[in-house]
Structure 1
């Protein structure tokens, strides 16, 4: 394995995963509005969603999606609709939805929390662009498939770990108490952010179709 190539992949991935986006917004909301277990399940879902992007990038399907205006526009549209649906759930939240303790009943099942993270990552067109670019530009075509697969597994684990740490931090009682004063307004703010992200996807889809 080329150490320099792996270091480049790790650095580029770290910068990408740490930048704000739908994944971060969803995990932040889960951490502040749900129990810790649900936030962690959402982080696991995001990490496993990465493996899907890795799989189609290795197979070359991602490049086909990127080069097909119709397919990529369809992906953006589905992603925008999903983010809009999540945003509406946030905007409809009422007062006293912020969990500052461990006695509030869990509103989600583990499966629902996992699907939320998995689908948020899977339907994010930026993730498609990132992984297609990574596997076609940063990673050499001469790199063995086994090594490329290792890179993909590493990025999935690193992504899951990063968002698990985000979930753990924002579910700390002191952090939740600090956010408690904002209550459902914070939830609505998250909804607004997700709507803006969905709007950007729609606008980029319209621009691509012109």
Structure 2
């Protein structure tokens, strides 16, 4: 891989991860409740991306390019999971809106403070798992690694070039997604006031994306 091809791949990768989608939406949801959970979710998303990157370098992209049915199967599986995730998010948001605010502590002056959200904070493991599953079901990831990434990867690249590509893309991805999680954390108070609405909106978007993925997957087999 020459330097111009590598720079082109990096540019496409940055554009792909920076554009709005399920990954960024999930980080916003999780990070609005807890900055550490948001960071763990971001790292989980990059674990998912790392799986895609390594699988693609190992030949998955070329296999999908040669056998489009594999892409359609991934769309069906990812769409089904994304639909479930969207439904769970909407259901959780509606449940939170029906519950009254609860006391969560005291201010410096000894006065009680109330939380506008009743959502339970995610553990690190839960946030990491959420990030991984979100990315693996992300239609952008499926299409990027199934169609775009294969245009830059050659079977005869060699181990050194493959390792360079993997490390570079992973480092860029970690820097971007963790940066987003930290930025969301700084806005946590304002986002928390609308956390239930954010859950509902995110869930609806997830379900719409899932419906599109399932439609594309079914259409591909017909």
**Shorter-chain TM-score range:** 0.7 to 0.9
User: What SS does structure 1 have at the residue aligned with 2:194?
Assistant: coil
| TM-score normalised according to structure 1 size | 0.84
2:114 is aligned with 1:109:
no
* C-alpha separation in 2, matches of 1:42 and 1:188: 19
User: What SS does structure 1 have at the residue aligned with 2:6?
Assistant: helix
Match of 1:158 in 2: 172
Deviation at 1:121, TM superposition (A): 1.3
| Structure 2 portions without partners, runs of 5+ | 105-113
Candidates 160, 163, 169, aligned match of 1:149: 163
* C-alpha separation in 1, matches of 2:85 and 2:151: 33
Instruction: Tell me the number of residue pairs that the alignment of Structure 1 and Structure 2 aligns.
Output: 204
- Alpha-carbon contact 1:35-1:171 (below 8 Å) kept: yes
* C-alpha separation in 1, matches of 2:197 and 2:36: 23
Match of 1:200 in 2: 212
Deviation at 1:80, TM superposition (A): 1.2
Deviation at 1:140, TM superposition (A): 4.9
Deviates more, 1:75-84 or 1:122-131: 122-131
Match of 1:46 in 2: 45
Which structure has greater strand proportion? 2
Match of 2:30 in 1: 30
- Select the structure of larger CA radius of gyration: 2
Deviation at 1:149, TM superposition (A): 2.0
2:87 is aligned with 1:88:
yes
- Alpha-carbon contact 2:44-2:131 (below 8 Å) kept: yes
- Alpha-carbon contact 2:21-2:140 (below 8 Å) kept: no
* C-alpha separation in 2, matches of 1:202 and 1:208: 10
The 1:193/1:142 distance shift into structure 2, 3 A limit, reads: same
The 1:14/1:41 distance shift into structure 2, 3 A limit, reads: same
1:62-94 per-residue CA deviation (whole Å, 9 max, x = no partner) reads 332344344322211221122122212221221
The 1:128/1:45 distance shift into structure 2, 3 A limit, reads: same
1:89-127 per-residue CA deviation (whole Å, 9 max, x = no partner) reads 221221359x998xx885322111111111211233432
Deviation at 1:208, TM superposition (A): 1.0
Match of 2:14 in 1: 14
Deviation at 1:22, TM superposition (A): 1.3
| TM-score normalised according to structure 2 size | 0.80
* C-alpha separation in 2, matches of 1:204 and 1:22: 18
